[in-house]
Amino acid sequence: MFLQLKPACTQALTRIFRLSDQDLDQALSDEELSAFQKSCFGHPLAPQALEDVKRVVCKNVVGGVQDNRLTLDGFLFLNTLFIQRGRHETTWTILRRFGYSDSLELTADYLCPRLHVPPGCSTELNHRGYQFLQQVFEKHDQVSATTLVSPCPAKPLQCPATPAWFPLPVDVSTSLLPLPPPPAAFLTDAVPRASSLVTYLDVQRCLKHLGYLGYPTLCEQDSQAQAITVTREKRLDQEKGQTQRNVLMCKVVGARGVGKSSFLQAFLGHSLRAPIHVINTVLVSGQEKYLIVSAGSEIPIMLATSLDTACDVACLMFDGSDPASFAFCATVYKRHYMDGQTPCLFVSSKADLPAGVAPPGLSPGEFCRRHRLPAPTPFSCSGLAQPSTDIFTQLATMAAFPWVLAPRPWEEGGLPYTRALRVLITWLCWVGALRPTSTWLRGMLVAVGATVAAVLSFSLYRILMKSR
């Protein structure tokens, strides 16, 4: 009786063939066949066995072997031959190794392996995940830049029953990196940024697409969860004095019309439709970090939860030409950030416009002084010059060192030493943002600051010991 593969099986085996074709020449070389055999069955094929397989295919399938390489038609014929000869377990072993169930669909356990993310932790791609994605896109360098973010991927990355790679919402994906990106910059910049953004915002989506791309099989890992790092709980970061996270979240909060969208666009250096999330790299103490800047609509003050406002640093933005807009930020701060667990920076947007008449009550500057916060930082996107990105370096530094401006229990008495220490640390953070051309000045300031810090730290230690 002549047996044929079902369409679903043909589709699954076609995906497996394309994932195994590492050099994208539409055929499997001896090396690729041996790697495939070892991945599925635990041992490579002997050279004579390879020749025997190709000889059988040549006799039965026209074009099954080309240039001494096994084509897709030859690969499908081999699996058909296994079934015809009663060796169903061989084909099923291949299918299960690549995540397929009895119904010839990718299983939920394969696409979404267990990954525990405790409250207060975040998710990042580790070096294995970045390396895998970089290799995937380097092999498909002929693909246009839209492949990474388009709902319809280009053909080289398209596999049967495989959704688009990271189908991000348009308002997210259109603002991933500064424009225009040359092809090389796309591979080195956009791939890590987009994957970092998706992993942080929706780790389950990241796991699924790593599974679609065959990460567990091609990288010889138990699951794609091994490409993900779950960061340390934020509370522990505050206790340790710094964070180990490489991806930091900054939420921009402000009333409608204060310039949140322009603030996000300035982070990338170009103007597009209003984005919700943008991501770019920032240097913090010489180390490159990914900073996600997120700005949604106004937070419903009475309905917002701690999850809505959770972030590594909060940017509370108000219109400097309309001081009344500051009340919104002040309310958000008192409701969600006054506990000092999240660093906060008030930003006065539209700084190029004349200051408006302040309503009765505390001014923004007085409010910040009373709550021991940095003075409001002016920001403007007007003019032909590109907006300064120093403010984003400041936000990233505050996120990386959350203890710098966080109130401490022993500060209730307003000790001059702790106030001075906080001022010194803020100054050192500013020193770290100096341009490379001022290296000699930075070195001198750091040396002086380190000496003063040592004296203040010793004095603070003595005060704490006396208070015990």
The third-level CATH classification (topology) of the domain covering 7-105 is Recoverin; domain 1 (1.10.238)
CA torsion, ordered 335, 339, 344, 346, to nearest 10 deg:
50
Asked if the model's pLDDT at residue 210 lies above 90, the reply is yes
CATH topology of domain 110-231: Recoverin; domain 1 (1.10.238)
Structural domain spans, the chain: 7-105, 110-231, 243-403, 408-468
**What is the DSSP secondary structure assignment for residue 410, as one 8-state letter?**
G
Provide the CB-side half-sphere exposure for 415 (13 A, CA): 19
Q: What is the pLDDT of residue 44?
A: 84
Q: Does the pLDDT at position 329 exceed 80?
A: yes
CA distance 379 to 396: 16
**Beta carbons of 73 and 31 less than 8 angstroms apart:** no
From CA 146, how far away is CA 114, in angstroms rounded? 31
**Tens digit of each residue's pLDDT (9 = 90 or more) over 395-422:** 999 999 886 555 444 444 344 444 555 5
Helix (H) / strand (E) containing 205: helix 203-212
Question: What confidence score (pLDDT) does residue 203 get?
Answer: 95
Q: Which of 160-169, 207-216, 280-289 has the weakest average pLDDT?
A: 160-169
The residue with greater pLDDT, 320 or 145, is 320
Give me the phi and psi of 255, to 5 degrees please: -70, 165
- For residue 299, pLDDT over 60 is answered with no
Per-residue pLDDT of 77-129, as tens digits, reads 999 999 988 899 999 999 999 999 999 999 999 999 999 999 989 999 999 99
Residue 16 CB neighbour total at 10 angstroms: 24
Rounded to an integer, what distance in angstroms lies between the CA atom of residue 387 and that of residue 381?
6
Q: Kindly tell me the burial class for residue 285, based on how many C-beta atoms sit within 10 Å of its own C-beta (0-12, 13-18, 19 or more).
A: middle
At residue 218, does pLDDT exceed 80?
A: yes
Q: Are strands 344-349 and 313-319 parallel, antiparallel or unpaired?
A: parallel
Tokens of 222: 């138990």
**For residue 429, what are the β-bridge partners?**
none
Mean pLDDT over each residue of the chain, to the nearest integer: 78
pLDDT at position 79: 93
Q: Is the pTM of this model over 0.85?
A: no
- Among 272-281, 357-366, 392-401, 417-426, which stretch is predicted with the lowest mean pLDDT? 417-426
Residue 161 has pLDDT above 80, yes or no: no
Which CATH code fits 243-403? 3.40.50.300
With CA atoms as reference, report the closest residue to 200 among 110, 284, 312, 282: 312
Question: Which of 36-40, 180-184, 308-312 shows the lowest mean pLDDT across its residues?
Answer: 180-184
Residue 181 has pLDDT above 90, yes or no: no
CA 35 – CA 420 distance, rounded (Å): 62
Domains 7-105 and 243-403 are alike in CATH topology: no
